[in-house]
Amino acid sequence: MTDLKKYTVAASGKMRQVAYDKLNNAVNLLAWQQSGQVPQKQFDEWLSKADALYSAANIKIDENMLNKAPRLKVIAQAAVGYDNIDVAACTARGIAVGHTPGVLDDAVADLAYGLIIDSARHLVRGSRHVRSGRWGERKGLGLSCDLARKTLGIIGMGNIGSALIPRAKASKMKIIYHNRHQRTDDSKLGAEYVSFEILLEQADFIVITATLNPSTKGMFDSKAFKRMKKTASLINIARGAIVDSEALYNALVTGEIAYAALDVTDPEPLPGDHKLLTLDNITVTPHMASATVETRDAMALLTVNNILAGLEDLPLPAQVPDQWVDA
């Protein structure tokens, strides 16, 4: 086994302690374990000597950043999404890119399911109602709706979408989905493949679990909202920019759709005075779908394993699919 102590690894944000300990034992680690961002000047200096980068997904990894890091062999991001990384630029420089698929599916599907239930059953609105001292009035909150026999439409049927299916089935929902390609195992999964337009028209709850890429950016625009049922809810646990925030605001104000529950927003973080937050028919959580102790530890350890493999010129345990080479 190669002595990895000769390698320097820079981290762009705070790491879970288990990951810090494992990496610190193995390599020369430059990490910012304090709260807040590592100062840019400090980070640039680390990049100039880094053989690997532990990306906490809080930075843009583009040509400009890569030019500051001429020694990089591997970049491992502690997230499944990697839309902040110019993968083609990394590939051109021979830099392997890793991410964390698989280990967060249950946590993210749980939050998505929670937001479906919130959209239907007014959990957040009910809590606001009580906190504002209006329990006695009852008026204003209105009745909620059953999930049983409603249609859930999933946009993007990958690991997270698949993990959502049994949860929704527990509530007796019917499931349709739209994906770039129909899955060959969809009848086994218990979901019916439909076009984007049919999904918009038929779903009572739409959950976005797709990746952000040029074909999904702004996919939920004013045209899409007009096609949805007036009683429908939109749940986004993927990436904020898949939804046009201005169009969503208008759809919620005019009643084109009933409710939105967002764990991701555009912009992100969403400023406290953003107009979406003036609405009653929205729940916003701060991009926390994978934020459980167990899942964040698993993501951090997979990130460390990606780095160690990359430094040893071994295949990464989880390399981004864009870098897969057809055999």
Could you tell me if 236 and 243 are in contact, meaning their C-beta atoms sit under 8 angstroms apart? Answer: yes
Amino acid at 319: Q
Prior bond to 166 cis, omega within 30? no
Could you tell me if 218 and 241 are in contact, meaning their C-beta atoms sit under 8 angstroms apart? Answer: yes
Q: Among residues 30 and 208, whose Cβ is nearest to ligand GLV?
A: 208
Say which of 268, 294, 296, 312 is annotated catalytic: 268
Q: Among residues 151 and 290, whose Cβ is nearest to ligand GLV?
A: 290
Any contact of residue 199 with ligand GLV (CB under 6 A)?
A: no
Any contact of residue 305 with ligand GLV (CB under 6 A)?
A: no
Q: What is the DSSP letter of 140?
A: T
Any contact of residue 320 with ligand GLV (CB under 6 A)?
A: no
Helix runs in 95-158, H state only: 105-121, 123-131
From 13-21, 47-55, 75-83, 212-220, give the range in contact with ligand GLV by CB under 6 A: 75-83
Any contact of residue 79 with ligand GLV (CB under 6 A)?
A: yes
Any contact of residue 290 with ligand GLV (CB under 6 A)?
A: yes
Find the shortest distance in angstroms from Cβ 305 to ligand GLV: 16
Site size toward ligand GLV, by CB under 6 A = 5
- What value, to the nearest 5°, has the Cα angle with vertex 265 and ends 259 and 269? 130
Q: Among residues 216 and 290, whose Cβ is nearest to ligand GLV?
A: 290
Find the shortest distance in angstroms from Cβ 239 to ligand GLV: 7
| Structural element, H or E, at residue 294 | helix 293-311
Any contact of residue 80 with ligand GLV (CB under 6 A)?
A: yes
Question: Restricting to residues 104-143, which ones interact with ligand GLV according to CB under 6 A?
Answer: 104
Backbone angles phi, psi at 223, to 5 degrees: -65, -40
Catalytic residue check, 287: yes
Catalytic residue check, 178: no
If 0-12 CB within 10 Å is exposed, 13-18 middle and 19+ buried, where does residue 183 land?
A: middle
- Return the residue of 81, 126, 158, 218 that touches ligand GLV, per CB under 6 A: 81
Angstrom distance (rounded) from CA 304 to CA 21: 10
From 13-21, 76-84, 215-223, 251-259, give the range in contact with ligand GLV by CB under 6 A: 76-84
Backbone angles phi, psi at 116, to 5 degrees: -65, -50
Angstrom distance (rounded) from CA 18 to CA 88: 31
Could you tell me if 248 and 282 are in contact, meaning their C-beta atoms sit under 8 angstroms apart? Answer: no
Find the shortest distance in angstroms from Cβ 107 to ligand GLV: 10
Amino acid at 163: A
Say which of 16, 239, 256, 296 is annotated catalytic: 239
Say which of 99, 178, 287, 296 is annotated catalytic: 287
Catalytic residue check, 294: no
Residue span 17-56 as binding mask against ligand GLV, x where in contact by CB under 6 A, dash where not = ----------------------------------------
Any contact of residue 245 with ligand GLV (CB under 6 A)?
A: no
Cross-strand pairs, 261: 235, 283
Angstrom distance (rounded) from CA 21 to CA 126: 43
Q: Among residues 8 and 162, whose Cβ is nearest to ligand GLV?
A: 162
Residue 179 has, within 13 A of its CA and on its CB side, a CA count of 19
Q: Which residues bind ligand GLV (CB under 6 A)?
A: 79-81, 104, 290
Active-site residues, by number, are 239, 268, 287
